[in-house]
């Protein structure tokens, strides 16, 4: 079996739901305030839904009012990749899982000023959650 970063589109389609495939592989976006984790408050770790890599902690999650899960930092920045995204007439920074290349969302400079000042705006469908005590 191929590793997460060299699966074919057909292999991804077999392991991801249609909406997961649209967001993770085709860079889609879920509608705001509809995702499973936008208002999620449990303690734990948010992992890439494509490959299981631990990406964000509930400790850095905050309510941004944007309708998507928001974090002011990643667990380990070496696990994510940032790319300039100029689609939709905007210049943004896309956030991807470094392990599998899955589209997670975008990063903005309007996060908590007393922390990193960053807002990782992430699609719920790009994430799985593992509860931790």
Report CA torsion sign: 21, 22, 26, 27.
negative
Q: Show the domains of the chain with their CATH numbers.
A: 18-131 (2.170.150.20)
pTM of the model: 0.92
Least Cα distance to 32 among 70, 75, 84, 80 occurs for: 70
Task: Yes or no: say if 110 and 119 are a contact pair by the CB < 8 Å rule.
Answer: yes
pLDDT tens-digit map of 79-133 = 999 999 998 888 999 999 999 999 999 999 999 999 999 999 999 999 999 998 7
Say whether pLDDT at 3 is over 90: no
Task: Yes or no: say if 47 and 37 are a contact pair by the CB < 8 Å rule.
Answer: no
What pLDDT was estimated at residue 1?
40
Least Cα distance to 61 among 51, 49, 74, 48 occurs for: 74
Name the band, by pLDDT with cuts 50, 70 and 90, for residue 9: very high
Name the band, by pLDDT with cuts 50, 70 and 90, for residue 2: very low
pLDDT tens-digit map of 14-60 = 999 999 999 999 999 999 999 999 999 999 999 999 999 999 999 99
Which positions ≥6 away from 23 have C-beta within 8 Å?
29, 30, 103, 123, 125, 126
Of residues 48, 51, 100, 121, which has the active-site annotation?
121
What pLDDT was estimated at residue 10?
94
Task: Yes or no: say if 58 and 44 are a contact pair by the CB < 8 Å rule.
Answer: yes
Backbone dihedral angles phi then psi of residue 9, each to the nearest 5 degrees: -55, -40
What pLDDT was estimated at residue 4?
66
Residue 24 DSSP label: H
Say whether pLDDT at 5 is over 80: no
Residue range 11-15: mean pLDDT, rounded: 94
Q: Is 97 a catalytic residue?
A: no
């Amino acid at each position: 079996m191929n590793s997460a970063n060299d699966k074919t589109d057909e292999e991804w389609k077999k392991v991801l739901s249609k909406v997961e495939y649209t967001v993770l592989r085709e860079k889609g976006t879920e509608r705001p305030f509809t995702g499973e984790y936008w208002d999620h408050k449990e303690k734990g770790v948010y992992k890439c839904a494509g490959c299981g890599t631990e990406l964000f902690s509930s400790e850095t999650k905050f309510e941004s009012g944007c309708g998507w899960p928001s974090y002011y930092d990643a667990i380990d920045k070496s696990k994510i990749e940032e790319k300039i995204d100029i689609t939709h007439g905007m210049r943004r920074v896309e956030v991807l899982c470094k392990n599998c290349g899955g589209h997670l969302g975008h990063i903005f400079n309007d996060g908590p000023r007393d922390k990193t000042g960053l807002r990782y705006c992430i699609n719920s469908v790009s994430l799985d959650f593992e509860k931790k005590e």
